[in-house]
């Protein structure tokens, strides 16, 4: 019987290190084990899991991924980005088995003050499960904009829906593609070598020509594109191909965007983004929770300018804010956006700070703009959806150092109280 889990981080362990194959072998010698790291860019597995997958120390790295080895050349248990080479063996739970926890997870977001979410990528078939859940429970859940993983022109045509289809509770979002990995792997694709691994620059999650073709096809088919790009090399490459597609086939109001934008790219890349209205969804909370990864892997300037906010805005790039999962609630992100502080208290590139008003807009009005919904939500105005939260303190007047103490007192969606403390 498989043992699976999710959410570990080396920062949470007393030893401040990743778990290893040997650790899991000792804990579960008779069961195959796979434990996914928070962020989902790597996993640790035990020897039995490797054995069942037919993976040895001589197995080549999977395309777009890495099988980590120790100083003796033996597998240490960490798989970066391509965890599916083992995960494919884990028996899948049925939708009936997972649906109750799926619904509860969505309900839990209301307690965090989330009235709308953007789900970063499901299959066309997976979207059908969202439709089933929202048809029955939509009135009691946050509104959802669901990004669809690119499956090629034929599958996307067969899906029969495009960006914006749906209703005020559930809509189809952008096409989602992973251009590179992340720093929890680490595998983000960077221009310069990693500070901790000379000569290593991460990797693309797909071949460069496939990325180019995907962008051309998705753009021609009329989809909005929201692509995961963390390293500056991944950002630069994606922007170049976005621009190529837009110049070959101009489209007004396309609202293509990059999700994450962690390593600040060269100024000319941001200039291109401003000129071609390529947007960003940024996660300032990563500055707080992932500072250790940036300091470990990036040279000093890149580490300081992690998750830049002011720089792209100074190049006329539209920036919306979101949370991802580290953590999901918005208060840590607002705190990091206005202070540029990590969890250690270190301040990173203070010139990247936002004002409180800008940070709040980033999580409200600007998020609605990314999903083409600014006419119905994102601000409190007559005729718009009555989605709002009540806080224990006034964000606009509170000492920024107290933002993390703010409590969500009430969450209202469509004029209905869906959470009250």
* Token pair for 7: 């959410």
Distance, CA of 146 to CA of 371 (rounded, Å): 10
Asked if residues 322 and 118 have their Cβ atoms less than 8 Å apart, the reply is: yes
Closest to 18 in 3D by CA, of 85, 78, 84: 78
Q: What is the pLDDT at residue 369?
A: 99
Tell me the pLDDT of the chain (421 aa) as tens digits. Answer: 999 999 999 988 999 899 999 999 999 999 999 999 988 889 999 999 999 999 999 999 998 899 999 999 999 999 999 999 999 999 988 888 999 999 999 999 999 999 999 999 999 999 999 999 999 999 999 999 999 999 999 999 999 999 999 999 999 999 999 999 999 889 999 999 999 999 999 999 999 999 999 999 999 999 999 999 999 999 999 999 999 999 999 999 999 999 999 999 999 999 999 999 999 999 999 999 999 999 999 999 999 999 999 999 999 999 999 999 879 999 999 999 999 999 999 999 999 999 999 999 999 999 999 999 999 999 999 999 999 999 999 999 999 999 999 999 999 999 999 999 9
pLDDT at 370: 99
Cα–Cα distance between 112 and 363 in angstroms, integer?
13
**Which ranges in 8-120 belong to alpha helices (H)?**
21-27, 47-53, 84-87, 95-111
Q: Which residue has the tokens 């992973």?
A: 178
pLDDT at 94: 84
At 245 the three-state DSSP class reads helix
CB 261 within 8 A of CB 315: no
pLDDT of residue 365: 99
Q: How many CB atoms lie within 10 A of CB 52?
A: 14
Q: Compute φ and ψ for 207, nearest 5 degrees.
A: -60, 145
CA angle (81 as vertex; 75, 82 as ends), nearest 5: 70
The verdict on whether omega for the bond into residue 19 sits within 30 degrees of 0, i.e. cis, is no
Cα torsion at 93, 95, 97, 99 (round to 10°)?
130
The CATH number given to 99-384 is: 3.20.20.140
Cβ neighbours around 80 below 10 Å, total? 24
Question: Would you list the domain boundaries of the chain?
Answer: 3-87, 99-384
Q: Which CATH number fits domain 3-87: 3.10.310.70, 3.40.50.2020, 3.20.20.100, 3.30.750.200?
A: 3.10.310.70
């Amino acid at each position: 019987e498989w043992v699976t889990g999710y959410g570990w981080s080396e920062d949470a362990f007393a030893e401040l290190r990743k778990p290893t194959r040997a650790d899991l072998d000792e804990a579960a010698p008779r069961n195959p084990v796979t434990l996914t790291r928070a962020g989902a860019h790597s996993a640790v597995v035990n020897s039995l899991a490797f054995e069942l997958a037919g993976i040895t120390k001589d197995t080549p790295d999977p395309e777009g991924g890495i099988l980590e080895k120790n100083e003796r050349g033996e597998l240490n248990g960490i798989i970066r980005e391509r965890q599916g080479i083992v995960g494919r063996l884990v028996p899948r739970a049925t939708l009936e088995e997972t649906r109750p926890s799926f619904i509860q997870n969505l309900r839990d977001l209301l307690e965090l003050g989330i009235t709308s979410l953007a789900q970063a990528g499901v299959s066309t078939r997976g979207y059908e499960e969202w439709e089933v859940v929202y048809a029955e429970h939509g009135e009691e859940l946050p509104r959802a904009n669901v990004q669809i993983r690119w499956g090629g022109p034929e599958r996307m045509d067969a899906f029969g829906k495009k960006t914006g289809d749906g209703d005020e509770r559930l809509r189809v979002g952008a096409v989602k593609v992973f251009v590179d990995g992340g720093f929890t792997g680490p595998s983000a694709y960077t221009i310069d070598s990693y500070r901790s691994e000379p000569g290593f620059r991460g990797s693309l999650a797909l071949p460069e020509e496939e990325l180019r073709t995907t962008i051309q096809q998705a753009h021609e088919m009329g989809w909005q594109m929201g692509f995961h790009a963390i390293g500056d090399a991944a950002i630069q490459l994606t922007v170049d191909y976005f621009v190529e597609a837009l110049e070959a086939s101009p489209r007004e109001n396309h609202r293509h965007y990059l999700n994450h934008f962690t390593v600040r790219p060269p100024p000319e890349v941001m200039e291109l983004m401003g000129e071609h209205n390529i947007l960003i969804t940024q996660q300032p909370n990563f500055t707080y929770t992932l500072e250790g990864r940036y300091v470990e892997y990036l040279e000093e300037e890149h580490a300081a300018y992690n998750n830049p906010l002011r720089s792209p805005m100074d190049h006329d790039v539209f920036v919306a804010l979101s949370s991802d999962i580290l953590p999901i609630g918005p208060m840590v992100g607002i705190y990091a956006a206005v202070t540029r502080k990590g969890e250690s208290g270190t301040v990173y590139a203070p010139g990247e700070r936002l004002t409180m008003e800008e940070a709040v807009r980033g999580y409200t009005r600007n998020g609605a703009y990314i999903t083409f919904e600014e006419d119905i939500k994102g601000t409190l105005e007559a005729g718009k959806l009555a989605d709002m939260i009540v806080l224990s303190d006034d964000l606009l007047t509170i000492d920024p150092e107290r933002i993390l103490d703010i409590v969500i007192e009430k969450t209202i969606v469509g004029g209905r109280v869906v959470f009250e403390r």
